[in-house]
Amino acid sequence: MAERKNNLRTIAIFSDSHDQIPNLKKALGFCQEQGIDTIIHCGDLEKAETLIEAWPSHFDATVHLCWGNADKIDEIIQKQKIFPLLKIYGQIGSIFLENKNIAFTHRIEKAKKIAETQKYDYVFYGHNHKPWTEKIGKTHLINPGDLSGFIYQPSFAILDLEKNKFSLKILNRM
Protein backbone atom coordinates (compact mmCIF):
# COMPACT_ATOMS: atom_id res chain seq x y z
CA MET A 1 0.00 0.00 0.00
CA ALA A 2 1.30 3.46 -0.87
CA GLU A 3 2.19 5.72 2.02
CA ARG A 4 -0.26 8.58 2.47
CA LYS A 5 0.76 12.16 3.07
CA ASN A 6 -0.63 14.10 5.99
CA ASN A 7 -3.85 15.95 5.30
CA LEU A 8 -3.38 19.30 7.02
CA ARG A 9 -6.76 20.62 5.91
CA THR A 10 -8.85 17.88 7.48
CA ILE A 11 -9.24 17.21 11.20
CA ALA A 12 -11.12 14.59 13.19
CA ILE A 13 -13.25 15.40 16.21
CA PHE A 14 -13.88 12.74 18.86
CA SER A 15 -15.75 12.81 22.13
CA ASP A 16 -16.89 10.46 24.86
CA SER A 17 -14.86 7.41 23.93
CA HIS A 18 -15.25 6.09 27.51
CA ASP A 19 -12.49 3.48 27.24
CA GLN A 20 -14.14 1.70 24.29
CA ILE A 21 -10.89 0.51 22.71
CA PRO A 22 -12.36 -1.24 19.62
CA ASN A 23 -14.32 1.88 18.61
CA LEU A 24 -11.40 4.20 19.26
CA LYS A 25 -9.10 1.88 17.32
CA LYS A 26 -11.47 1.89 14.34
CA ALA A 27 -11.76 5.70 14.34
CA LEU A 28 -7.99 6.14 14.68
CA GLY A 29 -7.44 3.62 11.86
CA PHE A 30 -9.72 5.67 9.61
CA CYS A 31 -7.74 8.81 10.46
CA GLN A 32 -4.48 7.07 9.69
CA GLU A 33 -5.79 5.79 6.33
CA GLN A 34 -7.01 9.27 5.41
CA GLY A 35 -3.78 10.99 6.46
CA ILE A 36 -5.53 13.04 9.13
CA ASP A 37 -2.87 14.26 11.51
CA THR A 38 -4.92 16.43 13.88
CA ILE A 39 -7.50 14.98 16.25
CA ILE A 40 -9.51 16.95 18.78
CA HIS A 41 -10.98 14.95 21.65
CA CYS A 42 -13.72 16.77 23.58
CA GLY A 43 -13.31 14.81 26.79
CA ASP A 44 -14.30 11.57 28.48
CA LEU A 45 -11.43 9.58 27.09
CA GLU A 46 -11.29 8.24 30.69
CA LYS A 47 -7.86 6.57 30.83
CA ALA A 48 -4.75 7.36 28.80
CA GLU A 49 -4.03 3.61 28.44
CA THR A 50 -7.11 3.43 26.23
CA LEU A 51 -5.59 5.86 23.75
CA ILE A 52 -2.18 4.21 23.92
CA GLU A 53 -3.60 0.71 23.42
CA ALA A 54 -5.80 1.79 20.49
CA TRP A 55 -3.05 3.81 18.77
CA PRO A 56 -2.04 2.47 15.33
CA SER A 57 1.63 1.77 14.62
CA HIS A 58 3.50 4.51 12.77
CA PHE A 59 0.71 7.09 13.21
CA ASP A 60 2.00 10.61 13.81
CA ALA A 61 -1.20 12.48 14.57
CA THR A 62 -1.51 14.97 17.41
CA VAL A 63 -4.42 14.57 19.83
CA HIS A 64 -5.69 17.79 21.44
CA LEU A 65 -7.62 16.79 24.58
CA CYS A 66 -9.80 18.76 26.96
CA TRP A 67 -11.14 17.29 30.18
CA GLY A 68 -14.48 15.58 30.50
CA ASN A 69 -16.24 14.70 33.72
CA ALA A 70 -15.19 11.01 33.55
CA ASP A 71 -11.49 11.54 32.79
CA LYS A 72 -8.81 10.22 35.16
CA ILE A 73 -6.89 13.50 35.05
CA ASP A 74 -3.84 12.60 37.14
CA GLU A 75 -3.30 9.34 35.28
CA ILE A 76 -3.64 11.02 31.87
CA ILE A 77 -1.13 13.72 32.85
CA GLN A 78 1.35 11.01 33.89
CA LYS A 79 0.95 9.13 30.60
CA GLN A 80 1.45 12.32 28.60
CA LYS A 81 5.15 12.04 29.46
CA ILE A 82 5.41 8.82 27.43
CA PHE A 83 2.89 9.88 24.77
CA PRO A 84 4.11 13.27 23.48
CA LEU A 85 1.49 13.37 20.71
CA LEU A 86 -1.13 14.06 23.41
CA LYS A 87 -1.67 17.77 24.11
CA ILE A 88 -3.76 18.55 27.20
CA TYR A 89 -5.69 21.82 27.56
CA GLY A 90 -7.80 21.55 30.71
CA GLN A 91 -11.53 22.24 30.50
CA ILE A 92 -11.29 24.46 27.42
CA GLY A 93 -8.82 24.21 24.56
CA SER A 94 -8.17 26.35 21.53
CA ILE A 95 -5.98 25.99 18.48
CA PHE A 96 -5.45 27.89 15.24
CA LEU A 97 -5.35 25.78 12.06
CA GLU A 98 -5.65 26.71 8.39
CA ASN A 99 -6.62 30.28 9.32
CA LYS A 100 -9.43 29.01 11.56
CA ASN A 101 -9.86 29.68 15.26
CA ILE A 102 -11.09 26.50 16.93
CA ALA A 103 -12.18 25.96 20.52
CA PHE A 104 -13.23 22.75 22.22
CA THR A 105 -14.71 21.79 25.55
CA HIS A 106 -16.77 18.98 27.02
CA ARG A 107 -20.08 20.53 28.05
CA ILE A 108 -22.60 22.25 25.81
CA GLU A 109 -23.16 25.14 28.24
CA LYS A 110 -19.50 26.18 28.01
CA ALA A 111 -19.44 25.57 24.26
CA LYS A 112 -22.41 27.88 23.69
CA LYS A 113 -20.85 30.65 25.79
CA ILE A 114 -17.63 30.32 23.82
CA ALA A 115 -19.53 30.38 20.51
CA GLU A 116 -21.45 33.50 21.56
CA THR A 117 -18.16 35.43 21.85
CA GLN A 118 -17.80 35.12 18.05
CA LYS A 119 -14.03 34.72 18.48
CA TYR A 120 -14.03 31.26 16.93
CA ASP A 121 -14.96 29.77 13.60
CA TYR A 122 -15.67 26.37 15.21
CA VAL A 123 -16.50 25.23 18.72
CA PHE A 124 -16.66 21.50 19.46
CA TYR A 125 -18.16 19.80 22.49
CA GLY A 126 -19.43 16.44 23.73
CA HIS A 127 -20.93 15.14 27.00
CA ASN A 128 -24.54 14.46 25.92
CA HIS A 129 -23.36 11.97 23.24
CA LYS A 130 -25.76 13.43 20.66
CA PRO A 131 -24.39 14.37 17.24
CA TRP A 132 -25.42 17.95 16.61
CA THR A 133 -24.50 21.01 14.60
CA GLU A 134 -25.82 24.53 14.68
CA LYS A 135 -24.58 27.98 13.87
CA ILE A 136 -24.39 30.84 16.35
CA GLY A 137 -23.57 33.96 14.39
CA LYS A 138 -20.46 33.08 12.38
CA THR A 139 -19.49 30.22 14.70
CA HIS A 140 -20.23 26.59 13.91
CA LEU A 141 -21.10 24.68 17.09
CA ILE A 142 -20.56 20.94 16.60
CA ASN A 143 -20.98 17.81 18.72
CA PRO A 144 -19.39 14.78 16.98
CA GLY A 145 -21.49 12.32 18.94
CA ASP A 146 -19.71 9.69 20.95
CA LEU A 147 -17.28 6.90 20.23
CA SER A 148 -18.60 4.78 23.08
CA GLY A 149 -21.96 3.94 21.52
CA PHE A 150 -23.65 3.99 24.94
CA ILE A 151 -26.65 6.06 23.86
CA TYR A 152 -26.43 6.59 20.10
CA GLN A 153 -24.52 4.75 17.39
CA PRO A 154 -20.79 5.37 17.85
CA SER A 155 -19.69 8.33 15.76
CA PHE A 156 -17.09 11.01 15.22
CA ALA A 157 -16.78 14.02 12.94
CA ILE A 158 -14.49 15.00 10.11
CA LEU A 159 -14.04 18.63 9.16
CA ASP A 160 -12.40 19.86 5.98
CA LEU A 161 -11.11 23.27 7.04
CA GLU A 162 -10.44 24.46 3.51
CA LYS A 163 -13.97 23.72 2.28
CA ASN A 164 -15.68 24.30 5.66
CA LYS A 165 -17.38 20.94 5.13
CA PHE A 166 -18.43 18.85 8.12
CA SER A 167 -19.34 15.16 7.97
CA LEU A 168 -20.43 12.66 10.58
CA LYS A 169 -18.87 9.20 10.49
CA ILE A 170 -20.97 6.38 11.94
CA LEU A 171 -18.61 3.57 12.95
CA ASN A 172 -21.14 0.81 12.22
CA ARG A 173 -21.39 2.02 8.61
CA MET A 174 -17.67 2.15 7.92
What is the pLDDT, as a whole number, of residue 2? 36
Residue 84 lies in a domain: yes
**pLDDT tens digits along 10-46:** 999 999 999 999 999 999 999 999 999 999 999 999 9
How far is it, in rounded angstroms, from Cα 47 to Cα 97?
27
Is 156 a residue whose pLDDT tops 70? yes
| Mean pLDDT computed over 92-96 | 97
Residue 27 lies in a domain: yes
**pLDDT tens digits along 95-154:** 999 999 999 999 999 999 999 999 999 999 999 999 999 999 999 999 999 999 999 999
SS (H, E, C) the chain: CCCCCCECCEEEEECCCCCCHHHHHHHHHHHHHHCECEEEECCCCCCHHHHHHHCCCCCCCEEEECCCCCCCHHHHHHHHCCCCCEEECCCEEEEEECCEEEEEECCHHHHHHHHHCCCCCEEECCCCCCCEEEEECCEEEEECCCCCCCCCCCEEEEEECCCCEEEEEEHHHC
What is the pLDDT, as a whole number, of residue 48? 87
Q: Are 43 and 65 in contact (CB under 8 A)?
A: yes
Residue 1 lies in a domain: no
What is the pLDDT, as a whole number, of residue 3? 41
Is 47 a residue whose pLDDT tops 80? yes
What is the pLDDT, as a whole number, of residue 8? 60
Residue 15 lies in a domain: yes
Residue 5 lies in a domain: no
CATH code assigned at 94: 3.60.21.10
Residue 2 lies in a domain: no
**pLDDT tens digits along 159-173:** 999 999 999 999 999
What is the pLDDT, as a whole number, of residue 68? 95
Domain total in the chain: 1
Q: Are 57 and 35 in contact (CB under 8 A)?
A: no
- Domain of residue 20 covers 10-173
Residue 4 lies in a domain: no
Is 6 a residue whose pLDDT tops 60? no
